[in-house]
Structure 1
């Protein structure tokens, strides 16, 4: 319960986007959020989970597998 709750603008700044992007995530139910009266707050852990689940790891290619066969 010691989670920090962020506003839409704070999440947008954290992600380096406009406020429209976190609002779309909320509308599409792609991120957890909390309604406090008429205000929407996003737990910092939800932002971390979103980033973790959308992180793409690099793929290592073997150099021998890239040869063309004529």
Structure 2
């Protein structure tokens, strides 16, 4: 039996990318402080504590980002 690495497909047929808060902030072009303020207010993307590290799945990030769309009026 082989151990599954980050680059092998999962049982669901895809590999989810894990992002750091710094990567999220770089992509959104926001200060890290904003990300952590969102966490306190439960307003940001769903995050997971893995050991002492905070990670956000790309799937969860994209789903959260879709909810922030400003409707055209």
In the alignment, structure 1 segments of 5+ residues that lack a partner are 60-70
In the alignment, structure 2 segments of 5+ residues that lack a partner are 1-9
- Please tell me whether residue 25 in structure 1 is matched to residue 38 in structure 2: yes
Determine the C-alpha separation between the residues in 1 that align with 2:63 and 2:51.
25
* Residue from 46, 50, 62 that aligns with 2:64: 50
Determine the C-alpha separation between the residues in 2 that align with 1:14 and 1:8.
10
Higher helix share: 1
* Residue from 17, 20, 26 that aligns with 1:7: 20
Q: Which runs of 4+ in 1 moved over 6 A?
A: none
How big is each residue's C-alpha offset from its partner over 1:7-30, in whole Å with a ceiling of 9 and x where there is no partner? 110000011101112222222223
The 10-residue stretch of structure 1 (10-19 or 45-54) with the greater mean CA deviation from structure 2: 45-54
Give the aligned CA root-mean-square deviation in angstroms: 1.5
- For the pair shown, the structure with the greater C-alpha radius of gyration is 1
